[in-house]
Amino acid sequence: MKILVAAGPTREWIDPVRFLSNASSGRMGFACAREARRRGHRVVLVAGPTSEPPPPGTVRVETTRQMLSALRRRFGWCDALIMTAAPADFAPAARARAKIKKTGRPAALRLVPTPDILAALARRKGRRLIVGFALESHALVRRARAKMAAKRMDLVAANAPQAAGARCATVTLLTPDGGRETLRGATKERIARRILDWIGARK
Ligand code: CTP
């Protein structure tokens, strides 16, 4: 199969020295890409600026818009998309050309939403499989199910915010037909194997 994987955070610049981002390390996506290659699939990995070095051949992007266009360009090619990335959901309304100076007074930053990548790609999903993640601090399963439906996912891995950047995580895998399986304190490699088992069984 041809598998497209997205990993890591994105960055939205405030001024030449500051950005908005999150704690995603990229490890979950790298583990999925490695496991998929090990099983003989053809893999394209697109990654934001991760703290861990990505595998050779990775397509690097920085902003959420750049990640969307890199994935859009390759979505037609793939049979399955594994969307482990944590794109920044907000960007500063404008990027200041010069470093913003502190004044000693409170400052406000006007933020605008960035595109929802999965929602945009899911519009031309066709027969492709879409595996997504859901990061939820409350009502994990209910909210993850709602995201799965809204973004036309075939499998969602629901986890708590502590999973971002961590080596191990507890994830609950959910499918639209009511399927549910929890992996407790699993390494990202083990989660990747389960996701690839599931993809293998579906195609
Ligand atoms: N995602 C995406 N584009 C974004 C944000 C998230 O494609 N701009 C994807 C993530 O890669 C993940 C899924 O959507 O597979 C759910 O991401 P999550 O951060 O849990 O939720 P959001 O959709 O961003 O919603 P909210 O922040 O309101 O919980």
Pairwise CA distance, residues 168 & 182, whole Å: 13
Around ligand 1, the residues with Cβ closer than 6 Å are: 64, 83, 85, 87, 89, 114, 116-118, 132-135, 147, 151
Query: What mean pLDDT is predicted for residues 20-24?
Result: 94
Q: Give residues with Cβ within 8 angstroms of 10, minimum separation 6.
A: 21, 48, 49, 61, 62, 63, 64, 66, 67, 85, 86, 87, 88, 114
Residue 85 CA, ligand 1 centroid: distance in Å:
8
Q: What share of the chain is helix, strand, coil (3-state, %, to 5)?
A: 30, 30, 40
pLDDT at 4: 98
Pairwise CA distance, residues 12 & 18, whole Å: 9
Residue 166's pLDDT band (cuts 50, 70, 90):
confident
Cα–Cα separations (whole angstroms), residue 149 to 18, 134, 164, 178: 35, 12, 23, 12
Residue 151 CA, ligand 1 centroid: distance in Å:
9
Measure the CA angle with vertex 24, ends 23 and 25; round to 5°. 110
Average model confidence (pLDDT) for the chain?
A: 96
Please check whether residue 106 is in contact with residue 22, taking contact to mean a CB–CB distance below 8 angstroms.
Answer: no
> Has residue 77 got a pLDDT over 80?
yes
Measure the CA angle with vertex 76, ends 2 and 54; round to 5°. 55
Identity of the residue numbered 159 = N
Give 175-202 pLDDT, tens digit per residue: 999 999 999 999 999 999 999 999 999 8
pTM of the model: 0.96
Mark whether 159 is an active-site residue. no
Give 98-151 pLDDT, tens digit per residue: 999 999 999 999 999 999 999 999 999 999 999 999 999 999 999 999 999 999
Residue 165's pLDDT band (cuts 50, 70, 90):
confident
Percent of the residues in the chain that have a pLDDT greater than 70, as a whole number: 100
> Has residue 203 got a pLDDT over 80?
no
pLDDT at 52: 87
> Token digits for 89?
């959901």
Choose one of 21, 68, 147, 148 to mutate for the ligand 1 pocket test, by most ligand atoms within 8 angstroms of C-beta: 147
Identity of the residue numbered 176 = P
Per annotation, catalytic residue among 22, 66, 170, 175: 22
Pairwise CA distance, residues 118 & 18, whole Å: 26
